[in-house]
Amino acid sequence: MLPIYTRIFSRSDYGTIEMLTVISSFVGAILVMGMDSAQSMYFFKNKEEGKSAQVRLVSSILQWRLLWGTFIVLLSTLLAPLLNLFFFNGNLSVLYFAIAFSSALFAQVMSQSSEVMRLLYRPWSYIGITISQSLFAAGLIMVFVLGWKMGVLGFFIGVALSSVLVSIFGWYLAREYLDFSQLQKDLWPKLIRFGAPLVPAGLALYFMSSADRWFIQYFHGPSALGLFAVGAKFSMLMAFAAETFRKAWWPIAMDSMHNADGPETFRMISRLYMGLGTTMIIIVTLLSPWLVELLTTNEYYSSWPIVGILAWQSLFYGFFLIASAGIWKVEKTSLNLYLMLASTAFGLVLNWLLVPKYAEVGAAIASAITYLFWVVISMVVSEFYWKIGFSWMVFAIQVSCGVVFVVWYIVEGFICNLYITLIVSLLVMGILLLTSIEKPKLMSLIRPFKTE
């Protein structure tokens, strides 16, 4: 939908949408209260007690979401005038906030129904719920924005209404696990005890990933934030790859932690992931000027340098599951909170230093460095508990090669002769691919060619 949105919304409008979405995401982080993890944990734990116990669990969590969520939405809406004055110069009415916050609540309700489908191993129902929300939202946004000329407000009405409709659809599919004949409040203390400790870590991760938006909005306004938001959307090419890796790697990682060859597996994957991931960043950076020009308007074209910089954030986010292996192995997961809090504080300082002067580019740099700091300190702590033997030299070479190329291309490479750019790109990617393979394995690959 990005090609359409960038043609119907100005940079300022797009920035307003992004900032209000970021604020709503904060409300959403509070609404979750760790109940998604609690549902996954106790759903299978209650399996031995029969389906009725699972029905009580799912119904109890949904009832808690609706009551707790309504309270948080009302409280957040009461604070809307302050948020409006601080971030939007009083340009929005309370209605914008009420609809955006309500949308966050119904998104949680919808998400719970899709998670029930996932826990029941019903992939098509799960996919149907998630995809239908996106399709309904896109269609309704077009109706309210283009048909009824409601602008930014129409965007949030479309998103909110789609969440309501798909929530109804999702819970219709999951109706056999729904029982509202009584209030299942006796389960709440246990669920809250499990979920509440997860909230600080969720909020820390939220601020790590969204602090850049808050600083841009405060120092430079919605127009700069709109430019940043478009660049961030294109960098999601890397985010998609990183998230795919995380889902595929985690089961393998859990198994490898308990095998004798676990350290070797983690060393191999760390080199491959960073080498191939950095290569992908180079490709995304090379394509970013043409992608932005092709899919947006001239108003957003200057966002292309942000794409390659923000791609590092996603790369490091995916690498965290490798970097933190030792923490998971010895079950010291409480340390993740302190690592994220330290990284969040570091990121806030970087944003405060870079955003006022360098605007959206400074924010992108701050975010990338923050996530690098996060994985580095996680690797240090992880190695203390479980010696994997990560090659810091290889890691530094891979990151340095990628960073130097991205900086060169943004500053000078884009205007260089095409052949020079291609030669430099291939040279850097060659180095990255060579460092992705350990020397003994690399020599075994080269040896047959030497004997010919």
Alpha-carbon dihedral sign for residues 230, 234, 240, 243: negative
Measure the CA angle with vertex 139, ends 133 and 144; round to 5°: 115
Q: What is the pLDDT of residue 316?
A: 96
Residues 59 and 152 in one domain: yes
Residues 254 and 350 in one domain: yes
The answer to whether 119 and 39 have CB atoms below 8 angstroms apart is: yes
Alpha-carbon span 415 to 418, nearest angstrom: 8
Of 38, 147, 167, the residue nearest 102 (C-alpha): 167
Residues 245 and 134 in one domain: no
Q: How far is CA 298 from the centre of its chain?
A: 27
Alpha-carbon span 379 to 301, nearest angstrom: 37
Of 132, 120, 109, 108, the residue nearest 177 (C-alpha): 120
Residues 118 and 103 in one domain: yes
Residues 239 and 91 in one domain: no
Q: What is the pLDDT of residue 445?
A: 43
Q: How many domains does the chain have?
A: 2
Of 117, 100, 104, the residue nearest 170 (C-alpha): 117
Residues 244 and 181 in one domain: no
Alpha-carbon span 104 to 159, nearest angstrom: 9
First to last CA, the chain: 54
Residues 296 and 337 in one domain: yes
Torsion angles phi and psi, residue 79, rounded to 5: -85, -5
Q: What is the pLDDT of residue 262?
A: 85
Of 190, 146, 179, the residue nearest 1 (C-alpha): 146
Alpha-carbon span 373 to 358, nearest angstrom: 20
Choosing from 196, 222, 250, the residue where a domain stops is 196
Residues 211 and 186 in one domain: no
452 residues of the chain, pLDDT tens digit each: 788 888 889 999 999 999 999 999 999 989 988 888 888 888 887 877 888 999 999 999 999 999 999 999 999 999 999 999 988 989 999 999 999 999 999 999 999 999 999 888 888 998 899 899 999 999 999 999 999 999 999 999 999 999 999 999 999 999 999 999 899 899 999 999 888 877 888 888 899 999 999 999 999 999 999 999 999 999 988 988 888 888 788 778 877 887 888 888 899 999 999 999 999 999 999 999 999 999 999 999 999 999 999 999 999 999 998 998 888 888 787 788 899 999 999 999 999 999 999 999 999 999 999 999 999 999 999 999 989 988 999 999 999 999 999 999 998 867 777 788 889 999 999 999 899 887 655 454 444 445 55
The answer to whether 365 and 358 have CB atoms below 8 angstroms apart is: yes
DSSP 145: I
Residues 321 and 286 in one domain: yes
Which residues fall within 8 angstroms of residue 260, CB to CB, at 6 or more apart? none
Alpha-carbon span 124 to 130, nearest angstrom: 10
The answer to whether 170 and 113 have CB atoms below 8 angstroms apart is: yes
Q: What is the DSSP string of 56-102?
A: HHHHHHHHHHHHHHHHHHHHHHHTHHHHHHHHHTT-S-HHHHHHHHH
Measure the CA angle with vertex 148, ends 145 and 149; round to 5°: 55
263: its two tokens:
């350290």
Alpha-carbon span 315 to 195, nearest angstrom: 28
Residues 192 and 204 in one domain: no
Within 10 angstroms of residue 441's Cβ, the number of other Cβ atoms is 12
Choosing from 175, 196, 217, the residue where a domain stops is 196
Angle (deg, nearest 10), helices 94-119 and 11-32: 50
Within 10 angstroms of residue 6's Cβ, the number of other Cβ atoms is 22
297: its two tokens:
């308007």
Choosing from 129, 164, 196, the residue where a domain stops is 196
Residues 156 and 206 in one domain: no
Three-state secondary structure call for residue 329: helix
Query: Exposure pattern of 208-224 as b/e (b: 16+ CB <10 Å)?
Result: bbbbbbbbbbebbbbbb
Find the domain containing 224 and state its range.
200-451
Residues 447 and 384 in one domain: yes
Within 10 angstroms of residue 324's Cβ, the number of other Cβ atoms is 24
